[in-house]
Each structure stands twice: as structure tokens, then as C-alpha cells.
Structure 1
Amino acid sequence: MNILVVDDHALFREGLAMVLRQLDPDARVQEAGTAAQARRVLATPPPPDLLLIDLALPDMDGLALLRELRGEGMDCPVAVVSASDEPALVRDALAAGAQTFIPKSTHSGDMLTGLRQVLAGRDWLPAPVRRALRQRETRQQPILTQRQADILALLCEGCSNGEISERLSISTHTVKFHLATLFRLLEARNRTECVARARALGLPQAPNQT
């Protein structure tokens, strides 16, 4: 098994490498302290079976790096490991393509349990993170107008602006206006994040096209 740990603190990387070898005593654990170093490692075969990445890298935001790597076709499981456990940050990491978000305060045994789930192809979050997400979602679920709800439902179906316009018999300008409002209400920066957050809140419903 090939594992890459990307974190700017050498002591943390070394400690994490020792924990990760409990997944596989023969695991090859490589380390990178910056996004640039991570890219150099990733450019050399074989590709990693698991990538663990911190968000606070000295040369690049970890989420930005993750988005770039996913955009370039990297398909290995990714665990974000961070000193922060803010729900908004967790949602951003999952929307960017991470399979799990593990606060650095997590017990090593729980981390190993979660990483085994991720390596088996399943998403996983520590129980405290799941609880925090549920509390935030319950507290901050936005109230949508019927038109906003209809557009959101079609967006979650994968419809383009033109398709939404046609199905709801409204102009594309109106679609764009409502999408901008939805992005603001759901704290999303793009369509992918908007869909991910809407589904997490249980918002998408069948559009009313009568």
C-alpha cells in the first residue's frame, strides 16, 4: 500500500506515519511538507492508494490543492486531517472530493477505523463531526421560495441553466438570479457545492412544473 501524508509539521507527519503502518505493516508512507512537494511525489509512480492532506499548507490552501488534483483526475481516497473541525470547513472538504474529514484531536484508533472504511470505498466521519454537522444543518436550514426550491431540485438533477429555463418556462436571466440567491443561502461557491449542501440538508424535492 502506498500512502502520501501532506502536512507542514514534520513531527506530526512522522507520528502519523507510525500510526498508518498499523493499516499495513508493509505500507510505503511518503511525506510532503508543501503542495509543491506533494505534486512532485504524485508525479512519480506508483500513485498513492490513500492521500492524507492538511488544509494549512505554507504554499497553497489544502482545499485548493485537493480541488486541483480531483480536477486532474486523481481518484485515490482522500482524508483531510485538520486542526479545525468547523462544520463549514468539513462541508467544503467533502464537496472538494474528500472521503473523510478527521480532526487532529481524533484518537488514533478511531482514525484507523475510519481509514479502513475509506479504503473499502465508503465515506466516513468521526461521531463528533457528524453531530456538529447535524446541529448546524438543523439550525441553519434555509427557507426557500417555491421558485427557488424548483430551481434547486432541477439543479440537483444535473440540469443546465437552459434546461431549467425550458422546464420552468422562465428566462435564463431569472434562473441565474435565483441561482445566485441559492448559492448565498447555502454558502456555496459553485453548482457542485450547492448540490452537495442541498442534499446534506435534504432540500431537493421534485420540482413543481404545473
Structure 2
Amino acid sequence: MSGRIIIADDHPMFREGMLRTVQRLLPGTEVQEAGDLDTVHALISDDGDIDTLILDLRFPGLTCLSQLAELRQQLRRTTLIVVSMVDDPALIDQVMALGADGFIGKNIAPEEIGQALLAIREGEVLVKFAPSGLLPLDTHTLTARQQDVLRLIAQGKTNKEIAKALDISPFTVRIHVSSLLRVLGVSSRAAAAVRYSGVG
């Protein structure tokens, strides 16, 4: 049985829209739907690898973030994408620190959701939501480590290459990248690099 994609959301209209997006972008992929956490666990216990789990942050049965951490431990090889109407940067940081591969806001255009989905599946650490505004970049507001990570992103380095250069784990790099995207008010590494070059 090939890898599966699970869309876990209790809003039927959003689930249907995401289902159509996935089927259009990834034809031939097996897509399963879940309206609550019990159904997610039942699908996980089935045979076959789960390629991607698209999970609503406000989801029946998901009552605390520790459950998100448990899912991450259970699905080590699965791409975990959190979707939500929430746009609280501190909460998004928490979600990413717990091991989510990406965060997609439900308030962005459907086409952008599709692009973000593909980018995260290809290994891009992505936080994509509609920010309230783009603040001018002042690198002095970044920590020394964030500045190091941003400089290496601007050089086109991957997370593994950044981890090696700074002698830290790829997981720690992912947390730094997530935090950087939030601080810079951008949604991708490429956009962060552009903002960096604009300052340099």
C-alpha cells in the first residue's frame, strides 16, 4: 500500500476544498478524511505509511498541544502540516517547535494553500498565513544565531547544510527558520533571503 494523505478537519467545506486541491496537485494519491482525532488514530493504525497529515489546530479531540507532540512522535516519517484560522505568532511558534513541518493559515487564497502544501512536502519549512502587515527589517532585532541562520538561508543553504555550518541539529535549525519567518513577516525561505539582501 502506498503512502496516504490524511485531511483531518471538522469543517466539511474546508475538508472538501482541501481534498480537491490535493487530488488536483497530486493525482493518484490516496486521500482519507477525518472529522475528529479518534478517526485520525484509527487511520494511523491501518497498514501503510502515511505520507502527509494535514491537521486542523482547532480539532475535536485535540485539546492540548502535547497531543500534537505525541502525533509527531508517532508519525516520525510523515509530513505534518497544521492548518488553522489562528494567526497568533506565539502559538504558531509553539506548533513549529513541537515538530510540525509547516503551518498554513486558512485565511489565504486556495491557490496559495496548494503552493504551500507542495513546498512543505518537498522539505521547505513554511509558515504561511495572512500577516497584518510587513514590518521593515531591522537585523538588530534578530539574535546573533538568527542572523547566522538568515545569512546562510540567503546563501541558498539547506537546513542540513546550515546545521553542519553552525554545529547544531537540523531540528534546531527548523525552529530558528520558523521563528525568522515570523519575525520577518514572510512566508518562505526565498522571501526571507530577499528581505536579507534588501538590507545587506
Common fold, TM-score beyond 0.5?
yes
Look up the match of 2:97: 95
C-alpha contact (below 8 Å) 2:5/2:53 kept by paired residues: yes
- Greater radius of gyration (CA): 1
C-alpha contact (below 8 Å) 2:93/2:179 kept by paired residues: no
**Bigger fraction of residues in strand:** 2
Unaligned runs of 5+ in 2: 144-165, 181-200
Distance 1:27 1:199, change over 3 A: closer
- The counterpart of 1:126, out of the listed 118, 128, 148, is 128
Look up the match of 2:150: none
Aligned ranges 1:18-29 → 2 under 5 Å: 18-29=20-31
Look up the match of 1:74: 76
Look up the match of 2:179: 200
Unaligned runs of 5+ in 1: 143-155, 159-191, 202-210
> How does the TM-score come out when normalised to structure 1?
0.60
Q: Distance in 2 between matches of 1:86 and 1:42?
A: 29
Q: Distance in 2 between matches of 1:78 and 1:199?
A: 14
How much does 1:33 deviate? 1.0
Kindly report the root-mean-square deviation, in angstroms, between the aligned alpha carbons of the 2 structures: 3.4
Q: Distance in 2 between matches of 1:199 and 1:157?
A: 18
1:36-79 residue CA offsets vs partner (Å, 9 max, x unmatched)? 11010011021221110011122223733321022235321111
Distance 1:72 1:131, change over 3 A: farther
Q: Match for 1:36: what amino acid?
A: D
Count how many residue pairs are aligned between Structure 1 and Structure 2: 152
Q: Distance in 2 between matches of 1:25 and 1:199?
A: 30
- State percent identity of aligned pairs: 28
C-alpha contact (below 8 Å) 1:53/1:62 kept by paired residues: no
How much does 1:92 deviate? 1.1
SS at match of 1:22: helix
Look up the match of 1:188: none
Q: Distance in 1 between matches of 2:89 and 2:13?
A: 27
Distance 1:199 1:82, change over 3 A: closer
C-alpha contact (below 8 Å) 2:72/2:100 kept by paired residues: no
Look up the match of 2:65: 63
Q: Match for 1:85: what amino acid?
A: D
Look up the match of 1:145: none
Look up the match of 1:16: 18
